[in-house]
Amino acid sequence: MEDPEDGRPRCDEAVSLAFSVLGKRWNGMILDALSGGRLGFSAVRRAVTGISDAVLSDRLAELTGVGLVSRHVDAGPPLSVDYALTGAGENLIPVLERLGEWASENLSESGSTDR
Amino acid sequence: MEDPEDGRPRCDEAVSLAFSVLGKRWNGMILDALSGGRLGFSAVRRAVTGISDAVLSDRLAELTGVGLVSRHVDAGPPLSVDYALTGAGENLIPVLERLGEWASENLSESGSTDR
DNA sequence: CATAGCAACTATGTTTTTCATAGCGGCTAT
DNA sequence: ATAGCCGCTATGAAAAACATAGTTGCTATG
A47-86 pLDDT, tens digit per residue, is 999 999 999 999 999 999 999 999 999 876 778 899 999 9
Q: Do residues A28 and A47 lie in contact, with contact meaning Cβ atoms separated by under 8 Å?
A: no
Q: Do residues A59 and A27 lie in contact, with contact meaning Cβ atoms separated by under 8 Å?
A: yes
B19 vs A: CB within 8 A: yes
What is the structure's pLDDT at A10?
Answer: 73
Work out the average pLDDT over A34-58. 93
Give CA–CA dist A27/B16, Å, rounded.
10
Work out the average pLDDT over B91-113. 84
Chain D positions within 7 A of any protein Cβ atom are 5-12, 15-22, 25-27
CB of A50 under 7 A from strand D? yes
One-letter amino acid at B48 equals V
Q: How far is residue A43 CA from its own chain's centroid? A: 16
H helix intervals, chain B: 13-22, 27-34, 41-47, 53-65, 87-90, 93-106
What is the structure's pLDDT at A2?
Answer: 43
In chain A the domains, ranked by start, together with CATH numbers, are 24-105 (1.10.10.10)
Work out the average pLDDT over A23-41. 94
Separation in Å: D5 C1' and A105 CA: 40
Q: Is the pLDDT of residue B10 over 80?
A: no
DSSP H/E element including B70: strand B69-74
Instruction: Give the pLDDT confidence of B24-62 residue by residue, as tens digits.
Output: 999 999 999 999 999 999 999 999 999 999 999 999 999
Q: Do residues A67 and B108 lie in contact, with contact meaning Cβ atoms separated by under 8 Å?
A: yes
**N- to C-terminal Cα distance for chain A?**
44
Nearest CA to A50 out of B58, B20, B114, B1 is that of B20
> What does DSSP assign to residue A11?
-
Are B107 and A27 an interchain contact pair (Cβ–Cβ within 8 Å)? no
Per-residue pLDDT band for A111 (boundaries 50, 70, 90) equals very low
